[in-house]
A and B are shown apart, each in its own frame.
Chain A
Amino acid sequence: GQQVMQIPQYQHVQEGEDFTTYCNSSTTLSNIQWYKQRPGGHPVFLIQLVKSGEVKKQKRLTFQFGEAKKNSSLHITATQTTDVGTYFCAGPLVSSSNTGKLIFGQGTTLQVKP
């Protein structure tokens, strides 16, 4: 079936270090969305990438969408304790572009030591 894989599953960094999570889909995605879930919280939308090869930045966060629209990455520069949480990539398949069905990766849980 359709799968979206994320690595690593967990990442512990010292505050100020960089962090990257990678997302790979077994099938082509219509777009890629990134969500952040704080411990005990609900997923909160961060960004959507639509075009092949697209790169978007939000302050210290950089998001990329691969040329084949099957992979994506999120890079955080100089992590802060407020970055703690689980980062999920999610995408609708091309076949689900009209229904909004999101397939989520397993998430990368980021811990930041002050």
Chain B
Amino acid sequence: EPEVTQTPSHQVTQMGQEVILRCVPISNHLYFYWYRQILGQKVEFLVSFYNNEISEKSEIFDDQFSVERPDGSNFTLKIRSTKLEDSAMYFCASSGILGTHNEQFFGPGTRLTVL
């Protein structure tokens, strides 16, 4: 069964450093998302992406964040200068059906730890 993959599974970084989280969405999907989940809390929307541009972003997704689909398979989230409060699990998700956003398939997540 097709699945969303994410790398790395765990990233440890120093405050102020840049990190890039990588995702490979399901191959025929059209919509891509990033969410984050601080330990023990709810899942929070960061950004949605369609047709090579951001379709919506949350207040969390400030100028320190960017997303890119550099080729036909990868979807990346970059945090330019990490802060302690960026420590969280970051989930990539994708969905497939044009015009609707039914089931979103989540990847296994990248646990980001900022020291």
Contact = CB atoms under 8 A, between A and B. Distances in A.
26 contacts: A33-B102, A41-B108, A42-B91, A42-B107, A42-B108, A44-B106, A45-B105, A48-B102, A88-B43, A98-B55, A100-B33, A100-B48, A100-B55, A100-B101, A100-B104, A101-B33, A101-B45, A101-B48, A101-B58, A102-B33, A104-B35, A104-B42, A104-B43, A105-B42, A106-B41, A107-B42
A43 B107 CA distance: 8
Interface of B: 31, 33, 35, 41-45, 48, 50, 55-56, 58, 91, 95, 101-109
Contacts of A90: 43
Interface of A: 33, 35, 41-45, 48, 88, 90, 92, 96-107
Nearest to A95: B56
Given A42-B106, A105-B42, 6 more contacts: A33-B104, A45-B104, A99-B101, A100-B101, A104-B43, A106-B41
